[in-house]
């Protein structure tokens, strides 16, 4: 999307965007993951690049192609995603869209775990993954604009407000991903924009339209200084 003919209002601004899931290995052939197509994160990275931003997209494993016109870093695990995001700082804008696995396996096996029918069934000990958005939101090199997403299945607005505070973000794009909405894995999104000064409900939009609208809002933020 362009604001004016040929306008690139984010030229000279650096943005880091996370997208997709993370995969946390159990052993060389198995992993824990969240559901995420990467469509919304990739669309936001493209929309920011279209407005002239210098974008680093840090993507977990997805089946959609890399967007063009930006630097794409491919990662698997949350630890790797955190490292790649921190390497992209300093930046003016951070948009953390990835569905990061909250936990990883405490000690992943370097050999395939074999099954022994009728005998013991393995249990997984988990530990917490780093919270990348929270790390960026409280970082000494904190970008001027830090935006997170919140996929919720209940009490969307209050959960998003709590995340806004906890993670040191300026905005949370919240969406209701209850199975009945059909949003999960689809091409459309119905979001609420939660800021410190209020909440705005956006209409049902294509993920590309959500991305264009968010990028325009980001450009407006920098235009106003
Ligand atoms: N996020 C992150 N690193 C994590 C977990 C989440 O960067 N380890 C980011 C997501 O990319 C998103 C925001 O934090 O921008 C909210 O993610 P979400 O999973 O909704 O929040 P959590 O704090 O993990 O809480 P919960 O899953 O319990 O709702
Ligand atoms: Ca989570």
ipTM score: 0.99
pLDDT of 179: 73
Contacts of 93 (CB under 8 A, 6+ apart): 10, 13, 14, 15, 16, 48, 53, 143, 144, 145, 147, 218
Residue for token pair 């870093």: 73
Q: Tell me if 148 CB under 6 Å of ligand 1.
A: yes
* pTM for the model: 0.94
Average pLDDT over residues 93-102: 98
**Ligand 1 contact via 172 beta carbon (within 6 Å):** no
Per-residue confidence (pLDDT) for residue 4, from 0 to 100: 52
**Which residues partner with 104 through β-bridges?**
127
Distance 164 CA to ligand 1 centre (A): 11
DSSP 123: -
Domain 14-108+123-223 -> CATH class: alpha beta
Structure token pair of residue 21: 């899931």
**Residues in the 5 Å CB sphere of ion ligand 2:** 102
Ligand 1 proximity of 96 Cβ (cutoff 6 Å): yes
- pLDDT tens digits, 99-119: 999 999 999 999 999 988 888
Q: What is the pLDDT of residues 109-154, one digit of tens each?
A: 999 999 888 888 889 999 999 999 999 999 999 999 999 999 888 9
Whether 225 shows a pLDDT value over 90: the answer reads no
Burial of 75 (0-12, 13-18, 19+ CB in 10 A): buried
Return the ligand 1 atom nearest residue 172 CA.
15
Residue with token string 């709590």: 162
Task: Classify each residue of 27-49 as buried b or exposed e, where b means 16 or more C-beta atoms within 10 Å of its C-beta.
Answer: eeeebbbbebbbbbbbbbbbbbb
């Amino acid at each position: 999307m362009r604001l004016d003919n040929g306008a690139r209002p984010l030229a000279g601004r650096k943005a880091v965007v996370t997208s997709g899931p993370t995969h946390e290995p159990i052993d060389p052939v198995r992993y824990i993951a969240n559901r995420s197509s990467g469509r919304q994160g990739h669309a936001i990275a493209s929309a920011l690049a279209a407005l002239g931003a210098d974008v680093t997209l840090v993507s977990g494993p997805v089946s959609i192609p890399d967007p063009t016109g930006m630097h794409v870093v491919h990662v698997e695990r949350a630890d790797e995603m955190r490292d790649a995001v921190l390497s992209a700082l300093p930046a003016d804008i951070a948009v953390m869209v990835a569905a990061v696995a909250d936990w990883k396996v405490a000690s992943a096996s370097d050999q395939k775990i074999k099954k022994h029918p009728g005998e013991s069934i393995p249990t997984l000990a988990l530990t917490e993954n780093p919270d990348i958005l929270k790390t960026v939101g409280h970082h000494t090199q904190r970008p001027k604009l830090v935006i997170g997403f919140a996929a919720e299945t209940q009490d969307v607005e209050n959960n998003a407000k709590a995340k806004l505070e906890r993670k040191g973000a300026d905005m949370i794009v919240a969406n209701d991903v209850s199975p009945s909405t059909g949003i999960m894995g689809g091409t459309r999104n119905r979001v609420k924009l939660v800021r410190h000064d209020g909440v705005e409900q956006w209409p049902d939009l294509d993920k590309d339209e959500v991305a264009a609208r968010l990028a325009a809002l980001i450009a407006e933020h920098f235009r106003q200084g």
